[in-house]
Amino acid sequence: MKTYIVGNWKMNFTVGESSLYLHKLLQRIKTYRDIEVVVAPSLMALQPLSLQVDRRKIKLSAQNAYFQDFGAYTGEVSASQIRSLVDYCIIGHSERRHILGETNKDVRQKVAAVIRNGMTPILCIGETAEERKNGETTDIIRDQLLSGLSEVSSEDLDKIIIAYEPVWAISTTKAAKMATPDDIKEVLDLIHKLLKKTYGEEDAEKIPVLYGGSVKATNAEAYLSIPGCNGLLIGGASLIAPEFNDIIEIAKQVRA
């Protein structure tokens, strides 16, 4: 299985800045057969970057997509409208769940739409600090994971990526709030156990499971070395070309 290094640019960079930054990345990044590098620019930048990107080095992802393929949904962009531009689409990111109010139903419909349109959904799941404090992590992970995959057929399981993204560990520089490898391993083990119980061991092993939450070059090796971690979903560090490239190089070293 490949190692996935996914950079989520969130609502950063203008279209011009995105193009310049992608140019910097393409100059730095080497092509590795066993490392899949993915970046998720803002929606406005997807079309021009799709013409610029070297897909041997970097694949493109959308940050979101609507679950209907067409219709009277003002302001939305469907999976069918972006399928010619990207290979991946992030679905259920914690910021969409907790800031924009996306429900498990919204997420599972979007996952199905992304697969229906020939892309790979990166399904994000994770608990808040309050849920963790109250001992609800297992229930939250189970509900978000199994609901998000509930409209996916067994034939399409190899088209899914799961990203564990604890909300309490995102965008933090405070050591007390950083997720430790032991914290992450506990939940990754739970995710793998749920997948195997639901789909069987053979099918479950087709699904990559990533970690995302304040990932930096200084902690990437520790996270990538966790058994069952197949890659990283990176926010702020993906906006800094040297650091993002360092993480890719670290991934290659861990794979060696």
Task: Render pLDDT for 112-121 as a digit per residue (tens, 0 to 9).
Answer: 999 999 999 9
Which is nearest to 39 in space by CA: 246, 222, 244?
244
d(CA 156, CA 159): 5
d(CA 170, CA 8): 12
Q: Which of 36, 95, 102, 165 is catalytic?
A: 165
Architecture of domain 3-255: Alpha-Beta Barrel (3.20)
Backbone φ and ψ of 30, nearest 5°: -90, 160
Q: Which of 36, 93, 102, 127 is catalytic?
A: 93
Three-state secondary structure readout of the chain: CCEEEEEECCCCCCHHHHHHHHHHHHHHCCCCCCEEEEEECCHHHHHHHHHHCCCCCCEEEECCCECCCCCCCCCCCEHHHHCCCCCEEEECCHHHHHCCCCCHHHHHHHHHHHHHCCCEEEEEECCCHHHHHCCCHHHHHHHHHHHHCCCCCHHHHHHCEEEECCHHHCCCCCHHHCCCHHHHHHHHHHHHHHHHHHHCHHHHCCCCEEEECCCCHHHHHHHHCCCCCCEEEECHHHHCHHHHHHHHHHHHHHHC
Two structure tokens written together for 151: 């409209």
Instruction: Please list the residues that pair with 5 across neighbouring strands.
Output: 37, 232
Does residue 76 carry a catalytic annotation?
Answer: no
Task: State residue 175's pLDDT score.
Answer: 46
Backbone φ and ψ of 119, nearest 5°: -110, 170
Task: State residue 162's pLDDT score.
Answer: 98
Give, to the nearest 10 degrees, the angle between helix 15-28 and helix 43-52.
Answer: 40
Task: State residue 174's pLDDT score.
Answer: 52
Task: Render pLDDT for 171-181 as a digit per residue (tens, 0 to 9).
Answer: 654 544 678 89
Q: Domain ranges in the chain?
A: 3-255
Task: State residue 171's pLDDT score.
Answer: 63
Nearest 10 degrees: Cα torsion 28, 47, 14, 115: -80
Q: How many CB atoms lie within 10 A of CB 129?
A: 12
The whole-model pTM stands at: 0.95
Task: State residue 177's pLDDT score.
Answer: 65
- Residue ranges for the chain with pLDDT beneath 70: 171-177
Does residue 165 carry a catalytic annotation?
Answer: yes
Backbone φ and ψ of 199, nearest 5°: -115, -5
